[in-house]
Each structure stands twice: as structure tokens, then as C-alpha cells.
Amino acid sequence: MSNARKVAVVTGSNKGIGFAIVKELCAKFDGDVFVTSRDEGRGKAAVEELKKLGFQPNFHQLDIDDESSVLRFKDYLKSEYGGLDVLVNNAAIAFKNDATEPFSEQATLTMRTNFFNTLRFCNIIFPLLKPHARVVNVSSSVGHLRKIPGDDDVSVALRKKLSSSDLTVEELVKMIEDFVKAAQTGNHQKLGWPNSAYSTSKIGISALTRIQQKAFDHDSREDIVVNSVHPGYVDTDMTSHKGPLTIEQGAVAPSWLALLPSNIKEPKGGYVWYEKQIVDWVNGPVPTVV
């Protein structure tokens, strides 16, 4: 310890929306900003690109699928900064619509990175969060609760459980594990889930965000805020460059949430749209996707 300097971290920020969030934070955040990347070469290339634009980001290797990488990064943050002020959980994967991998495999791998390993990362890193820390979980338009279709009893019960204010992390984990299990035999829709592993992973992240905020509300550290966000439909590798928004436009809402001022009343545990609009995750309506 420590360096009283503040520090911000964006996971999966060697390219795409994460890269643009780092750029925005470099311009606006009063402290050090970390590009993190699972691949050191890609991460350092991103840092060089940002330096050419006049920014001074830091770099650390981070693969959220590799627990030892996460633990190394945690130790580094602890010894260099004594904590963490801003965390943007941006890293995620998505299979393409024409992917040939069976749905069972897509479900296993998508949930592993986007849900289970994002949760593990939070569990390892959250003890470092300082009072007034801001956490942003990058979700999606398909992470809205209403993406669970159907008015049958099973779908209604699934939505009800996911949106219950009593839902625990353990119960949510069990529900997502049940999705993965059911996906092995193609039975996931019988449990009410959408026919998309990616959508389910993001519904899980937005549900998790609500539980995390409740825990922060009772934390001894003052004023820690977490929100999930749909960044918009953005021109990145993930969308095969079909999204109409630039990565800078996609970074607007995540960066805004990362820099929310002290002691704000809302959004907290909210679901926020790319135009900074707070959307009712439980009842909708889901705004139009650009």
C-alpha cells in the first residue's frame, strides 16, 4: 500500500466498447485507468493506440476465465492502490448466429464467461472496493427480464423468481446452472428461458446487479453503487460490425455510470439504456433497439 491515487478498471478493454470506455475514463476520471486484456500483446497494442491519442492508460493482464490471473490482478491492485474505485465488467463472449457449435456447448461456454466467471471476478475483487466505488455490469437489450417470453405458468414463475427482492446469489446461480443443464438436452425453453444462451447470460447479469446493490446498501463501506447497462447496438467484432453506433457512442452510458457522483439516489441496482435512460427491468417496456 498505497498510493492515494484513485483507480479504474475495465475488463476486456483491448478493443470494442471496453476500449472506448477506457478512452472516456482517461479523459474524465481523476485517477489511473487500466486497460486489461487476456492477451498481453493485444492489451499493450491498445495502450499504444491510446497513447497516440494523448492518453496515459495503464495495463494489466486479466483473463476472467483464469482464476490465477484474477488473483494476480487483485494482489497487484491491493499493493499498488490499496483498493479500487471504478470497475466496469465489460468482458463477454457471444457466439455468432451462424455458429456451428451445438447449443449445449454454446450454453456452457457463454454462461461460463458471461455469468459464472464474471460473478467469480466480482466475488474476488469486491472486497477491494472503496467507499463511493462505482461498478458497472455491461448487460444488453436482451438482458431485460421481458426477454423471457411467454405467459404460461412456468415463464411467469421464472420472471417472478428472478425479479423477487428476496432472490439470493445462491438461488440465482442454481437457476443459471439449471439452464445450462437443461440446455444439454435442449430442454431449456421448457424451464421458461429464451432460446439464447447470450440473452440468458445477460438476464442473469442484470438480476445479479440488483442483488449486488442490495448487499452494498448494507455494506459498512459507504455509497457503493452498481448498475447494469445496455450500451446500444454497436459496431464491434461481437456484432460483426453490424451495429449502427460507434464504440464511443456505446461507451457513453457505461462511462456515465462509472462516474456517477457521490451519494446519488439513482440509478442504483438499475438497468440503464444507452441513452442514460433508467428502464424498468421488471415491467418494461423495453425501449426500441437502434
The residues that are catalytic are: 198
Phi-psi region of 267 (alpha: psi -120 to 50; beta: other; left: phi over 0): beta
Q: Which residues of 141-178 are buried (b: 16+ CB within 10 A; e: fewer)?
A: bbbbbebbeeeeeebeebbeebbeeebeeeebeebbee
With contacts defined by CB under 6 A, name the span among 56-64, 183-191, 207-215, 259-267 that binds ligand NDP: 56-64
- The residues in 162-221 that bind ligand NDP, with binding defined as CB under 6 A, are none
Distance CA 244, CA 247 (A): 10
Using the minimum distance from each CB to ligand NDP, give the nearer residue, 52 or 241.
Answer: 241
- The residues in 84-123 that bind ligand NDP, with binding defined as CB under 6 A, are 90-94, 113
Q: What are the φ/ψ torsions at residue 238 (nearest 5 degrees)?
A: -60, -40
Query: How many CB atoms sit inside 10 A of residue 186's CB?
Result: 13
Of the chain, the end-to-end C-alpha distance in Å amounts to 45
Using the minimum distance from each CB to ligand NDP, give the nearer residue, 10 or 133.
Answer: 10
Tell which one of 31, 38, 105, 163 touches ligand NDP (CB under 6 A): 38
> Coil, helix or strand for 215?
helix
Cell numbers at residue 192, please? 421458461
The nearest distance, CB 143 to ligand NDP, in angstroms, is 8
Distance CA 79, CA 47 (A): 22
Is residue 231 a contact residue for ligand NDP (CB under 6 A)? yes
Q: Which helix (H) or strand (E) holds 114?
A: none
The nearest distance, CB 2 to ligand NDP, in angstroms, is 26
Using the minimum distance from each CB to ligand NDP, give the nearer residue, 134 or 223.
Answer: 134
Q: What are the φ/ψ torsions at residue 60 (nearest 5 degrees)?
A: -145, 140
By rule CB under 6 A, what count of residues binds ligand NDP?
A: 31
**Helix/strand/coil percent split, the chain, to 5:** 45, 15, 40
Is residue 138 a contact residue for ligand NDP (CB under 6 A)? yes
Three-state secondary structure of 37-86: ECCHHHHHHHHHHHHHCCCCCEEEECCCCCHHHHHHHHHHHHHHHCCEEE
Is residue 15 a contact residue for ligand NDP (CB under 6 A)? yes
Using the minimum distance from each CB to ligand NDP, give the nearer residue, 124 or 154.
Answer: 124
Is residue 12 a contact residue for ligand NDP (CB under 6 A)? yes
The nearest distance, CB 261 to ligand NDP, in angstroms, is 24
Which residue is at the shortest CB distance from ligand NDP? 16
The nearest distance, CB 29 to ligand NDP, in angstroms, is 19
Is residue 17 a contact residue for ligand NDP (CB under 6 A)? yes
Using the minimum distance from each CB to ligand NDP, give the nearer residue, 43 or 192.
Answer: 43
**Interacting residues with ligand NDP (CB under 6 A):** 11-12, 14-18, 38-39, 42, 62-65, 90-94, 113, 138, 140, 230-231, 233-234, 236-239, 243
